[in-house]
Amino acid sequence: MNSLTRLLQAMTMAALLMPAMALADAVPDAKMDSLSSFFAKGIRHQGAVAELIEVRRWPDTSEKVTWRLPQITRHTSHLSLIAEQGNGQQKRRWYVPVRVHWWADAVVVKNEAPLRTLLMSDMLEVKRIDVANHVGVWWKKPADVAGMQVTRPLHKGDVVYSVNVKQPPLVKRGDLVTIVVNIGSISVRAEGKALKAGSRGDRLLVQNLRSKQMVQAVVMDANTVYVQTGGAG
């Protein structure tokens, strides 16, 4: 058999296989179209939008399926979408493993931020970031992060997550503060001393300097704490 004969046979075989190959390719394409339409509608979860990267295993059907997101608690990059077909007792269901991005507008640091850095607005910017597999919440406005202190070093472009920052104490131990006591519509003020540090909203022990009585108070700002009920002594 010469090379020309072998070439003609190969071409004939390819022509015979082309319809079957086209049909085989059409099945995942149809599924892909329906899945692409599902994602095109905007799959959102807690402020982030999903983008499909990869389907790791398709449902074993050539018929139309409907898609939905399972219940999730965080923005994981690997999850199983639910594909369904039919109704009632005839309903079929598949769990389809996929890989996704989760895109969100998030505050990031412009430059290196060493441990205990106090973040300021001009050190921050907002970027479109993949927040998949993150831990903690993020912020969308630099003003919401300004004034927080870094609890682990952040590198240029890192998202500022809640687990990586803390509110520095507004009141330090030993600070003199004004104790505000609200009794119904009456407000009483007294001078006191903080016996521990606290941030806005924290409860801390304060001593009334006149009566020497100690009370639990809530931090309002760097100079003021309040007691909702009771007296300052």
> pLDDT tens per residue, the chain (233 residues)?
555 555 445 555 554 444 433 333 444 566 778 898 999 998 999 999 999 999 999 998 888 889 999 999 999 999 999 999 988 888 999 999 999 999 999 999 999 999 999 999 999 999 999 999 998 999 999 999 998 999 999 999 999 999 999 988 889 999 999 999 987 778 899 999 999 998 888 899 999 999 999 999 999 888 999 997 654 44
DSSP conformation class of 171: B
Per-residue pLDDT at 61 = 86
**162 within domain boundaries:** no
At 233 the pLDDT is 43
Q: What is the pLDDT of residue 30?
A: 66
Query: What is each CA distance from 172 to 33, 52, 78, 161, 196, in whole angstroms?
Result: 60, 49, 44, 25, 6
Full residue range of the structural domain in which residue 192 is found: 176-227
In a domain, 207, yes or no: yes
Contacts of 161 by beta carbon, 8 Å cutoff, 6+ apart: 134, 135, 136, 137, 138
Q: Is residue 128 part of a domain?
A: no
Q: Assign residue 202 a region: left if phi > 0, alpha if psi is -120 to 50, beta otherwise?
A: beta
Residue that is last in its domain, among 102, 124, 147: 102
**Final residue before a domain boundary, out of 76, 102, 128:** 102
43 in Cβ contact with 50 (< 8 Å): yes
Number of domains in the chain: 2
Q: What is the pLDDT of residue 2?
A: 58
Burial (CB count <10 Å: 0-12, 13-18, 19+), residue 102 = buried
**Under a CB-based contact definition with an 8 Å cutoff, are residues 171 and 194 in contact?**
yes
Contact at 8 Å (CB) between 103 and 49?
A: yes
Phi-psi region of 103 (alpha: psi -120 to 50; beta: other; left: phi over 0): beta
Whether residue 87 lies inside any domain: the answer is: yes
